[in-house]
């Protein structure tokens, strides 16, 4: 039985494993991070580790917060917050290679569900200068189509009545900021790193909306003093499994209960507007600071996230367990490549065609990486939160200029067809989505409406009902061209399957 990774084991790690060279005993927390999952630990936490090392500024340690699950806390606490980041790709010889770094920036992990007041106190800690988030799209309690806070969300309703025991991300932030203001502490930066269009602007609008219900004066203080930079993060981080743990333990010579596995590629773009300073994240090829992150996030959402989801839904319907299998399926590869080149790229003005082509080729190579299999269900989950920004915004842009949307609308149809919970071999799978119950009712309502029509109109009627679901589609259900295309693709998927639908759309 191997000993556990911890502070005492650091000097005994193999020489080819990177590790912190600064004095962690002198590290103090300057960042509170909500959502301490693999995605955060593969980008912001490791870049903070590198920034501390490069600058010598020991005031930027991270206090991690898991909103509900104690799993990360239970894994990292015995390890003094240490964990391993394993970056994997194929070497020149075609064999998988792996670079390991033990990350030291995380000082402590808390669980908000166990003691929410303790999290509020940490946000109101005098040394806290940044509160950052990777809580996934569904963690914002908002309606994806409009960006408005969902006042009927059970957690939001709970938090309005329970200011000392908030459950939602927005409630935790607002009540933590209220404590800072009451105690006369300086403002902080609230930084979203989630895959959302205008993530900082969205977070600001949700925080201010909630704060307005709590205290008008607090709303003014937040609006005047706190900053909400937009950011874009691009690094693929599949889930860690037991095989990863065993392989990494063999390399380390100690047991790491929760390492993180990711790709070497990292692109992190942040608007440089911080209320109380920031780590030197730009060191060692890390973050890029810009005046506006909008062009970068639009590029990523449309040319990375949209195609990624398309591979996931089409692949899941074919029974593919990993994204790599879908990418290496010639018909799917050709379809998504054409969708990127012919329908997505023309909506990204200001970027040279050659640059977009290279960007697209690099994306396809990244997700085909055999050293880093990405489970299809992981990419396919929470589609109701992703589809509006990853695909529907591009469709709207195409419709405004009267351009073709055949491939993009098939991608949306694939998501809707995926929601039936069964692949083409008849194998059932679970639908993981915060709107799963409402979407199941939507599918049933669409089928009832289709059966009530004459056969010639049933497919179009089904598409009209589905596209009329405003939390996802907004007003797009009134766009005849979209509904007509959606109708055709849904019928092709129902009657003939993925391969026929893909061929018919090209």
**pLDDT mean by block of 10 residues, the chain; 506 residues:** 94 96 96 97 97 96 96 97 96 89 98 97 97 97 95 97 97 98 97 96 98 97 97 95 96 97 96 96 88 94 97 98 96 97 92 81 94 94 97 97 97 98 97 97 97 93 97 96 98 98 95
What is the tally of helices (H) and strands (E) in the chain? 23, 11
72, 35 in Cβ contact below 8 A? Answer: no
Query: Is the domain of 46 the same as that of 27?
Result: yes
Whether 177 and 298 map to the same domain: the answer is no
Whether 78 is covered by a domain: the verdict is yes
Half-sphere exposure of 295 (CA within 13 A, CB side): 8
Q: What is the signed CA dihedral for 322, 370, 45, 304, rounded to 10 degrees?
A: -60
Q: What is the pLDDT of residue 481?
A: 97
What is residue 3's three-state secondary structure? coil
Q: How high is the pLDDT of residue 374?
A: 92
CA-CA distance, 436 to 385, in Å (whole number)?
11
| Residue 2 included in any domain | no
> Is 298 in the same domain as 445?
yes
| Contacts with 134 (C-beta within 8 Å, 6 or more apart), sequence order | 33, 34, 35, 37, 39, 40, 44, 193, 194
DSSP 204-248: HHHHHHHHHHH-HHHHHHHHHH-B---EEEE---PPP-HHHHHHH
H/E run at residue 75: helix 71-76
- Distance (Å, whole) CA 43 – CA 39: 7
| Any domain includes 1 | no
Task: Find the CATH number of the domain harbouring 379.
Answer: 1.10.1040.10
Of 291, 318, 335, the last residue of a domain is 291
CA–CA separation, 51 vs 270, rounded Å? Answer: 15
Which tokens is 186 given? 């300086």
Residue 456 burial (CB count, 10 A): 7
- Report pLDDT for 285: 67
Residue with token string 């000097």: 11
CA dist 492 to 38, 145, 309, 411, Å?
A: 38, 27, 19, 13
3-class SS string, 390-430:
HHHHHHHHHHHCCCCCHHHHHHHHHHHHHCCCECCCCCECC
The distance of Cα 345 from the centroid of its chain, to the nearest Å, equals 22
> Do 412 and 494 reside in the same domain of the chain?
yes
Closest CA to 128 of 287, 230, 268, 274: 274
What pLDDT, on a 0 to 100 scale, did the predictor assign at position 286? Answer: 82
Q: Same structural domain for residues 311 and 264?
A: no
Task: Indicate if 415 and 440 belong to the same structural domain.
Answer: yes
Burial of 154 (0-12, 13-18, 19+ CB in 10 A): exposed
**Considering the domain boundaries, does residue 423 fall inside one?**
yes
The CATH number of residue 238's host domain is 3.40.50.720
Token duo for residue 52? 């501390």
Give yes or no for a contact between 10 and 80, defined as CB atoms under 8 angstroms apart.
no
Residues 471 and 331 both lie in one domain: yes
Q: Looking at the structure, tell me whether residues 441 and 349 fall in a common domain.
A: yes
CA distance 468 to 483: 9
Altogether, the residues listed in the chain come to a count of: 506
Same-domain check for residues 280 and 325: no
Indicate whether 401 and 390 sit together in one domain: yes
Has residue 458 been placed in a domain? Answer: yes
Backbone angles phi, psi at 331, to 5 degrees: -65, -40
Residue 418 inside a domain? The answer is yes
Residues 269 and 328 grouped into a single domain: no
Strand pairing report for 231-234 and 189-192: unpaired
* H/E stretch holding 66: strand 61-66
| Collapsed DSSP state (helix, strand, coil) of residue 259 | coil
Looking from the CA of 215 toward its CB, the CA atoms found within 13 Å total 15
Q: In the structure encoding, which two tokens stand for residue 5, read together?
A: 């990774």
Q: How far apart are CA 186 and CA 179, in angstroms?
A: 11
Closest listed residue to residue 49, CA positions, set 25, 20, 14: 20
Q: Same structural domain for residues 298 and 287?
A: no
Q: Of 291, 318, 351, which marks where a domain is finished?
A: 291
Residue at 118 is within a domain: yes
Q: How many domains does the chain have?
A: 2
Is position 20 within any domain?
Answer: yes
- Of 269, 291, 313, the one marking the end of a domain is 291
Structural domain range at position 401: 294-505
Q: Are 500 and 492 in contact (CB under 8 A)?
A: yes
Q: What is the pTM assigned to this prediction?
A: 0.94
Question: Which residue is associated with the tokens 């980008």?
Answer: 43
List the structure tokens of 431: 């639908």
């Amino acid at each position: 039985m191997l000993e556990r990774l911890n502070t005492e084991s650091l000097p005994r790690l193999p020489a080819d494993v990177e590790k912190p060279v600064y004095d962690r005993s002198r590290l103090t927390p300057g960042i509170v991070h909500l959502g301490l999952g693999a995605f955060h630990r593969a980008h912001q936490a490791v870049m903070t580790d590198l920034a501390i090392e490069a600058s010598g500024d020991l005031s930027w340690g991270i206090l991690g917060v898991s909103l509900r699950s104690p799993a990360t806390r239970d894994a990292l606490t015995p390890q003094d917050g240490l964990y391993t980041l394993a970056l994997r790709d194929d070497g020149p010889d075609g064999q998988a290679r792996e670079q390991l770094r033990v990350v030291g920036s995380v000082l402590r992990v808390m669980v908000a569900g166990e003691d929410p007041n303790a999290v509020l106190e940490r946000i109101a800690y005098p040394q806290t200068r940044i509160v950052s988030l990777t809580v996934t799209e569904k963690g914002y309690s908002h309606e994806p189509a409009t960006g408005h806070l969902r006042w009927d969300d059970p957690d939001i309703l709970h938090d309005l009545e329970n200011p000392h025991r908030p459950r939602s991300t927005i409630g935790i932030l607002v009540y933590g900021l209220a404590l800072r203001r009451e105690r006369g502490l300086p403002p902080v930066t609230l930084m979203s790193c989630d895959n959302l269009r205008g993530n900082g602007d969205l977070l600001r609008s949700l925080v201010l909306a909630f704060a307005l219900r709590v205290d008008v004066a607090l709303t003014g203080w937040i609006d005047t003093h706190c900053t909400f930079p937009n950011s874009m993060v691009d690094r693929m981080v599949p889930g860690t499994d037991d095989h990863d743990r065993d392989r990494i333990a063999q390399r380390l010579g100690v047991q790491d209960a929760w390492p993180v596995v990711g790709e070497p590629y990292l692109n992190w773009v942040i608007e440089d507007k911080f209320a109380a300073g920031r780590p030197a994240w730009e060191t060692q090829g890390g973050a890029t600071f810009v005046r506006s992150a909008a062009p970068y996030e639009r590029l990523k959402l449309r040319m990375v996230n949209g195609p990624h989801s398309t591979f996931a839904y089409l692949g899941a319907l074919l029974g593919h367990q990993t994204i790599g299998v879908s990418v290496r399926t010639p018909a799917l590869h050709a379809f998504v490549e054409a969708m990127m080149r012919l329908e997505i790229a023309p909506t990204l003005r200001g970027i040279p065609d050659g640059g977009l082509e290279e960007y697209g080729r690099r994306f396809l190579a990244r997700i085909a990486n055999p050293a880093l299999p990405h489970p299809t269900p992981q990419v396919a989950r929470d589609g109701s939160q992703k589809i509006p920004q990853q695909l529907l915004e591009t469709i709207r842009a195409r419709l405004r200029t009267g351009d073709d949307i055949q491939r993009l609308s098939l991608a949306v149809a694939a998501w809707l067809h995926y929601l039936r919970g069964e692949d083409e071999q008849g194998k059932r799978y679970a639908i993981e989505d915060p709107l799963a119950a409402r979407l199941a009712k939507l599918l049933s309502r669409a089928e009832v409406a289709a059966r009530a029509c004459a056969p010639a109109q049933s497919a179009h009627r089904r598409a009209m009902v589905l596209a009329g679901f405003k939390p996802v589609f907004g007003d797009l259900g009134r766009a005849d061209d979209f509904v007509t295309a959606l109708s055709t693709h849904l019928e092709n998927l129902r009657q003939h399957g993925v391969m026929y639908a893909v061929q018919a759309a090209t």
